[in-house]
Amino acid sequence: MLTPLKDKSVLITGGTAGIGLGLARAFARAGARVAISGRSRDKLDAALARLRAEGLSAAGHVADVGRPEDVARLLSETARNGLDVLCCNAGVFPSAPLESMSAEEWDQVQHTNVRGNFLCVQAALPYLRQAEYGRVILTSSITGPVTGYAGWSHYGASKAAQLGFMRSAALELARDEITINAVLPGNVLTEGLRELGEDYLDKMAAAVPLRQLGSVDDIANAALFFASKEAGFITGQTLIVDGGQVLPESLDALAG
Ligand code: NAP
C-alpha cells in the first residue's frame, strides 16, 4: 500500500492529450492537485473539459517546454503554492528519413524532447527543494534507449538523450533528496500514435508478446509508483512498460 498522494502538487507537461492526459487523470484520482500544460489553447481547454466531465479538476497553462520564458511563467503560475512532482512528458515524434532530414526537423524534435526536459527540471528545482520529497518523472521511450525504428533517428536520439540527462541530474538532485526516474513506454494507444495510421498500429500490436498496445493507464501506474514516498530510494533509473515488446530475439521467439 503506497502513501496517498493527497494534496501533493503535480505538474504534467504535455498533459493535454495521450499519455499526459492519462497521467493527469491518474494523479487527480489519487487526490493530487494537478496542473497540465501544452502549446495549443484549444487542446488545453478540451482536455480540461474532459477531466471536468469525469468529475476531476486540474489547472491548465499554455506553454512551449522548449522556450525558457514560457517555462519560467509556467512554473511561477503552477508552483507558487508548492510543487511535489514534475512529469516531463511533452514530446513529439514526427517521422523523417535520415537522408532527407533537415537540420530544422532535427532541432524541432530536440527542442521539445530534450531541451524541454532541461528547462523544466531546472525551473522546477527551487520549488521541488521545498517539497517534503520532490519527484521528477520523465517520459522517455523504448525507441532510442533500447530499440530503433526507421524514420526516427532524431526521435531515438532525443529519447536516449533524456536518459543521459537524467543520470547526471540524479546526482545533483540527490543532494536535495529529489529523485528523477524515467518511464520507457512501448507502443501506447494515444492521439499521437493513432496519427501514425492503422497499418502501424496493427504491426506494433503484433510485435507485443502480450498481444495488445499499451494504455495510458499502464504508463500512469508506473509514474504513480515513481512519485510515491515508497520509491524514495530509487533514482536515475528506467522502467520499461511495453508488454514485453523488447524481449523477442527473433520472430520465432515471438511466435513461441
Ligand atoms: P500526444 O498524444 O501527441 O500528446 C503530446 C502532448 O505533448 C500534447 O499534450 C501536446 O500538446 C504536448 N506537446 C508537444 N510538444 C510540446 C511542446 N513543445 N511544449 C509543450 N507541450 C508539447 O503524444 P503521446 O503519445 O501521449 O506521447 C507523450 C510522450 O510519451 C512523449 O514524450 C512521447 O515521446 C512518449 N512516448 C509515447 C509513446 C506512445 O506509444 N504513444 C511511446 C513511447 C514514448 P500541444 O501539441 O498542444 O503542445
pLDDT of residue 252: 86
Residue 192 alpha carbon to ligand 1 centre in Å? 7
- pLDDT tens-place values along the chain, 256 residues long: 889 899 899 999 999 999 999 999 999 999 999 999 999 999 999 999 999 999 999 999 999 999 999 999 999 999 999 999 999 999 999 999 999 999 999 999 999 999 999 999 999 999 999 999 999 999 999 999 999 999 999 999 999 999 999 999 999 999 999 999 999 999 999 998 999 999 999 999 999 999 999 999 999 999 999 999 999 999 999 999 999 999 999 888 887 6
Task: Check 127, 133, 149, 155 and give the catalytic one.
Answer: 155
What is the position in ligand 1's atom list of the atom closest to the CA of 185? 43
Reported as half-sphere exposure (CB side, CA atoms, 13 A), residue 14 has a value of 24
Residue 12 contacts residue 23 (beta carbons within 8 Å): yes
Residue 152 alpha carbon to ligand 1 centre in Å? 15
Is 117 near ligand 1, meaning CB less than 6 Å away? no
Backbone φ/ψ region at 173: left (φ over 0), alpha (ψ -120 to 50), beta: alpha
* Residue having the nearest C-alpha atom to atom 17 of ligand 1: 64
Ligand 1 mutation target, pool 190, 245, 246, most atoms within 8 A of CB? 190
Ligand 1 mutation target, pool 11, 12, 19, most atoms within 8 A of CB? 19
Is 65 near ligand 1, meaning CB less than 6 Å away? yes
> Residue 38's closest CA among 56, 58, 20, 57?
20
Q: What are phi and psi of 25, to 5 degrees?
A: -60, -45
* End-to-end Cα, the chain, rounded Å: 36
Is 92 near ligand 1, meaning CB less than 6 Å away? yes
Report d(CA 179, CA 92) in Å as an integer: 25
pLDDT of residue 256: 67
pLDDT of residue 84: 98
Ligand 1 mutation target, pool 12, 34, 39, most atoms within 8 A of CB? 39
Is 187 near ligand 1, meaning CB less than 6 Å away? yes
In sequence order, which residues have a C-beta less than 8 Å from that of residue 102 and are 6 or more positions away?
96
pLDDT of residue 1: 84
What structural domains and CATH numbers belong to the chain? 9-188+215-240 (3.40.50.720)
* Residue having the nearest C-alpha atom to atom 6 of ligand 1: 14
* Residue having the nearest C-alpha atom to atom 8 of ligand 1: 14
In sequence order, which residues have a C-beta less than 8 Å from that of residue 67 and are 6 or more positions away?
119
In the block, which residue shows the cell 473539459? 49
> Residue 168's closest CA among 241, 109, 236?
236
pLDDT of residue 250: 87
What is the position in ligand 1's atom list of the atom closest to the CA of 193? 41
Q: What is the DSSP letter of 180?
A: E
Backbone φ/ψ region at 175: left (φ over 0), alpha (ψ -120 to 50), beta: alpha
Here the contacts of 23-26 (C-beta below 8 Å, separation 24 or greater) are: 23/87, 23/89, 23/216, 23/219, 23/220, 23/223, 24/51, 24/56, 24/58, 25/51, 25/54, 25/56, 25/216, 25/220, 26/217, 26/220, 26/221, 26/223, 26/224
pLDDT of residue 255: 79
Q: Clarify whether 200 is annotated catalytic.
A: no
Is 182 near ligand 1, meaning CB less than 6 Å away? no
Is 179 near ligand 1, meaning CB less than 6 Å away? no
